[in-house]
Structure 1
Amino acid sequence: MKNKTLQPKNQGIATILAFALIPLSGFATDVYIPSPPTMARELSVSDLQVQLTLGMFLISYGVAQLFVGSLLDSFGRFKIGLVSLLIFALASIVIANTSNIYLIYMMRIIHGITVGAIVVSKRAFFVDVFSGEKLKNYLSMFSIIWATAPIIAPFVGGYLQSWFGWQSNFYFLAVFAFVILTLELIYSGETIRQKMDFSLRKIAAVYLEMVSTASFTLGIVMLGFSYGMVMIYNMTGPFVIEHKLGLSPIVAGYSSLLLGGAVMVGGLFGKATINKPFIKKLTINLCLQFLVVVLMLFSSRFVANLYSMIFFAFLIHACSGYTFNTFFTFCLSRFPKNAGIAGGLTGGINYVIVSFLSYGVIALIPAKDELNLAYSYALLIGLSILVMFLIFKLDKKSLKE
């Protein structure tokens, strides 16, 4: 394995394995979405303390991506990815065998760091191996593939929770990681074309160039707002369904499955309109999202049940999926010579925004009912409109120049 490179005959299987790992961050959060109420009861901690396990993962995942890209561009993708998979699996087993919330926090931080390394290395894999229209096509599939996690994971997690308890969700993650690790050892290999010297000065210059590119940075902010809407539901929806509406974890799992499908629908529309005018299609999408949240705010005062909440959330998440797909493709293809760093910054800043934003919004507007969820959506949609206005002004300025 010392100098193992990807063999051309294995490129197809290695690509499938890379796609299988793209949604790992979603699996690590969504598989136990139906479980927080049960975890809070069995661990004898508050709902907010259990919700913080998601926050710990998101923050560490985001911060890790900010730095791991430079390591991947300097030392390669393959070995770092393998070691990260192994550590991720072991951390999952530890979580399943402890009742100490603080140890769970520590393992979730390790989850975030290792998933950051795995996902960024696989994003870079595509930029290493493919180019041109084929690369653009694959990049536009990322958010669609990523959306399989919020579809499959809560559905699986709901049944695992009901049959075997919340710990089984983390055993599932461990088994998944061990299986992919074995297949990676057999079929995958190193793909980096040219390693970058690990010079802090050079790396800092690349980071500065990317962050100072306004279109790139604002694009990442839009990613944070769009995914923030999805994450706020993930952190509050199960409590509304199980506590306010008195329904089961399986119902919460099915609801999350539907909303994961919404993100995928949005991603598919994003891929279908990949060559349409950038500003125009995003403006139309944001206007639709704004209209839906206004209707949700109005109707929640008269009708508020599972069906109305999921109906409006589905439409809002579909629009979020469209925004995410469009900006994700744009940001990842912006700096092809430094794919690891670009992927790391894109994912890293996005998740840092999402983690602080979602936890802050939940603290400000608690997970109480459909109306509060609508207020949370409205806040993020309002912020998205402001950022989109800045992007519009920036685009207008660049056309004049």
Structure 2
Amino acid sequence: MLGPFSINIYMPSFADMRTSLGVNDVQLQITLSLYFVSFAFMSLWHGMLADSFGRRPVVLVGIAVFTVSTFGIALSDDIHNIYLLRVLQGFSAGAGIVIGRAVIRDVYEGAMAQRVYATVVMLFAIAPAIGPVIGGFLQVHFGWRSPFIFLGGMGAVLSLLTFVLLPETLSHESRQPFSLANVLKGYQQVFSHFRFMSWAISFALMFGGFFIYVLSAPIFLTRHLHLGATQFIWLFGPATAGMMLGSFLSGRLASAWSVRRLLRTGFAVMLFAVVLNVSVCVVNPVSFYWYLPYLFFFTLGMALVQPVIMVLGLDCVPHRRGLGSSVQLFVQTSFNALLSAVIAPLFWNSPLQLALGAATLLALSLMGIYFLRWMTVSGRTPKAEQV
């Protein structure tokens, strides 16, 4: 939950930060872009380090660095210092996400792995909803520094809980040697794996259909829908409800439904959501409650397929699960950085443009999955991957 909290808990404070720090919207948007770029870069290393030294120590170091850098932001008065500390936050916040995925595959197989990962996603989904709500409350009562103090305190508590409760799930016999040659070999194997990369890119595009709204929340909610700092729940609330219900259903249906059926159902729900969303933007673009069904149904469909796509991807690289999890997150976060820096600002000028941007991202994701299926059925994937 540290990852999404770091993105959205301070969004309700943007106006206060502009005044207090003497900055503009673009400079504040840079704090998001720097976070995503550093998060993406370091996500490549979390899994590799965890494959070599074990899961537990990498998580502990990551949370400790995150905690110190977050308290540093709360004490800063200069935007350039905040830029540096946001980079440190990005370097460290992904440790739990990357290694958590690898831990699940260390312990569970097949449908059980999907079920457990769906439970994790259901809990993870709480963060986008409560982050802005907590941030808005803290902003109104204590100012822009308070969300970072809260987040730093959360990191300190998690450091203690992780130290006491997290076991090591990777045996010494399963660890990869830490050497330049082995690292380069691992990256080459994972990045050149057609099926693995297809799943990773398709997921990043699909997630972008929702995340473009998260990144545009300060503009979309306050400027277009005329909502206040404490009303971000109208975006993140229905999205969280959809993610939690979709994750619950995905876990329950993992044994009863085939992978193909889960994927088809999830994407059908998301297609319905984007058509509804575009229609709303044409008919009644400024009434916020018309957007609630889109946010609910899109995230419901997304959560239905998310555990399936993650497990299918990691199953492509069974001996490099830590590194595979890193690359999955690297692809997603790199695309999030592109969304934050380029795509979202291009589309947030009107609700209709945002809706069309989300629809385009989902269409590209669906095209990628169908292309992967065609390549597999036609035998055009590399022979080493045809299993």
- Decide: shared fold, TM above 0.5: yes
Alpha-carbon separation, structure 2, partners of 1:256 and 1:104: 25
Secondary structure of 1:153 counterpart: helix
Secondary structure of 1:251 counterpart: coil
Alpha-carbon separation, structure 2, partners of 1:364 and 1:274: 38
Question: Aligned-pair distance for 1:399?
Answer: 11
Question: Aligned-pair distance for 1:380?
Answer: 0.7
Seen in structure 2, the aligned counterparts of structure 1 residues 312 and 145 have a Cα distance that, compared at 3 Å, is: same
The C-alpha deviation readout for 1:93-150, integer Å capped at 9, x for no partner, is 1111213222112111111111123332333333344556544432333322221211
Instruction: Decide which moves more: 280-289 or 232-241.
Output: 280-289
| Equivalent residue in structure 2 for 1:192, among 150, 161, 170 | 170
What is the match of residue 8 of structure 1?
Answer: none
Instruction: Decide which moves more: 124-133 or 99-108.
Output: 124-133
Question: Aligned-pair distance for 1:398?
Answer: 5.0
Amino acid at match of 1:32: Y
Seen in structure 2, the aligned counterparts of structure 1 residues 282 and 398 have a Cα distance that, compared at 3 Å, is: farther
Alpha-carbon separation, structure 2, partners of 1:230 and 1:205: 34
| Equivalent residue in structure 2 for 1:212, among 183, 187, 192 | 192
| Equivalent residue in structure 2 for 1:389, among 365, 370, 374 | 370
Structure 2 stretches of 5 or more lacking a match?
none
Instruction: Decide which moves more: 313-322 or 375-384.
Output: 313-322
Alpha-carbon separation, structure 2, partners of 1:322 and 1:131: 18
Instruction: Decide which moves more: 346-355 or 135-144.
Output: 135-144
Q: Is the 8 A contact 2:55 2:168 kept in 1?
A: yes
The C-alpha deviation readout for 1:211-240, integer Å capped at 9, x for no partner, is 222221111112211222232111112322
Q: Are 1:267 and 2:247 matched, yes or no?
A: yes
What is the match of residue 370 of structure 1?
Answer: 351
What is the match of residue 181 of structure 1?
Answer: 159
Which aligned pairs between 1:36-55 and structure 2 lie closer than 5 A? 36-55=14-33
Alpha-carbon separation, structure 1, partners of 2:251 and 2:316: 17
What is the match of residue 380 of structure 1?
Answer: 361
Instruction: Decide which moves more: 87-96 or 386-395.
Output: 386-395
Structure 1 stretches of 5 or more lacking a match?
1-22
Alignment length, in residue pairs? 378
Q: Is the 8 A contact 1:151 1:259 kept in 2?
A: yes
Q: Is the 8 A contact 1:266 1:318 kept in 2?
A: yes
Question: Aligned-pair distance for 1:257?
Answer: 2.5
Secondary structure of 1:45 counterpart: coil
Q: Is the 8 A contact 1:229 1:320 kept in 2?
A: no
Q: Is the 8 A contact 1:66 1:349 kept in 2?
A: no
TM-score (norm 1): 0.86
Alpha-carbon separation, structure 2, partners of 1:358 and 1:282: 27
What is the match of residue 288 of structure 1?
Answer: 269
Seen in structure 2, the aligned counterparts of structure 1 residues 136 and 251 have a Cα distance that, compared at 3 Å, is: closer
Seen in structure 2, the aligned counterparts of structure 1 residues 38 and 313 have a Cα distance that, compared at 3 Å, is: farther
| Equivalent residue in structure 1 for 2:51, among 73, 77, 84 | 73
Q: Are 1:82 and 2:60 matched, yes or no?
A: yes
| Equivalent residue in structure 2 for 1:310, among 285, 292, 301 | 292
Instruction: Decide which moves more: 375-384 or 117-126.
Output: 117-126
Alpha-carbon separation, structure 2, partners of 1:161 and 1:123: 33
TM-score (norm 2): 0.89
Amino acid at match of 2:189: E
Alpha-carbon separation, structure 1, partners of 2:272 and 2:313: 27
Question: Aligned-pair distance for 1:37?
Answer: 3.4
Q: Is the 8 A contact 1:229 1:317 kept in 2?
A: no
Amino acid at match of 2:118: S
Q: Is the 8 A contact 2:113 2:311 kept in 1?
A: no
| Equivalent residue in structure 2 for 1:361, among 343, 358, 361 | 343
| Equivalent residue in structure 2 for 1:350, among 309, 332, 337 | 332
Alpha-carbon separation, structure 2, partners of 1:37 and 1:318: 31
Alpha-carbon separation, structure 2, partners of 1:262 and 1:166: 29
Alpha-carbon separation, structure 2, partners of 1:132 and 1:38: 48
Q: Is the 8 A contact 1:285 1:322 kept in 2?
A: yes
What is the match of residue 99 of structure 1?
Answer: 77
The C-alpha deviation readout for 1:137-173, integer Å capped at 9, x for no partner, is 3233332222121122222222112221221111111
Instruction: Decide which moves more: 106-115 or 227-236.
Output: 227-236
Amino acid at match of 2:308: T
Q: CA RMSD in A?
A: 2.4
The C-alpha deviation readout for 1:179-219, integer Å capped at 9, x for no partner, is 11122233334432023211222232222222222221111
